[in-house]
Amino acid sequence: MKTIAAQLVDPRAPINIVHPVENIIVISIAAIISGAEGPKSIARWASEKKDWLNTWLVLPDGRTPSRDCIRTFFGIVAPAAFQGCFFKWLDGFLPDDARRDELLVIPIDGKTLRHSFDTVKAQRPLHIVSA
């Protein structure tokens, strides 16, 4: 994903860019897969996983993107360009012999487990996703 994300045109003003596009995208995808739901939780996840992220990414000054940095980027990036980048990354998971012109359908099903939440501990219910 890192090399594909680098091909995405950065819509931010060059004077204030600290975190490269590929870092923001890779961190966001990893955080969302881990359960993050927005810029604030993505930034919190990144801060907690900084040492692990440092093994895969070059973090400027050892820092992860802030919530405002993540929110700003996704607020101004062209959705069609990001979608193309994301689909190109997903194509990398296809076997080499897969035909690219065929529409591949992967059924996805999600369930929320009843009564798996805990309001006292502020824990939300458990979700199961299968593909």
Q: 22-55, pLDDT tens digit by residue?
A: 889 889 989 998 989 899 999 999 999 999 999 9
The predicted structure's pLDDT at residue 2: 58
Query: In percent, how much of the chain has pLDDT > 90?
Result: 20
* DSSP character string of 61-83: GGPPPPHHHHHHHHHHS-HHHHH
Residues 46 and 31: beta-carbon distance below 8 Å: yes
Which residues make Cβ contacts (< 8 Å) with residue 35, sequence separation at least 6?
41
The values of phi and psi at residue 77, to 5°, are -70, 145
**Mean pLDDT taken over the chain:** 83
* More confident site: 102 or 1: 102
Domain boundaries of the chain, sorted by first residue: 2-96
Q: For residue 98, what pLDDT band results from cuts at 50, 70 and 90?
A: low
The predicted structure's pLDDT at residue 45: 95
Q: How many CA atoms are closer than 13 Å to the CA of 92, on its beta-carbon side? A: 11
pTM, two decimals, is 0.67
76 pLDDT exceeds 80? yes
Beta-bridged to residue 129, according to DSSP, are 110
Q: What is the H or E stretch that residue 30 is in?
A: helix 21-33
The predicted structure's pLDDT at residue 101: 63
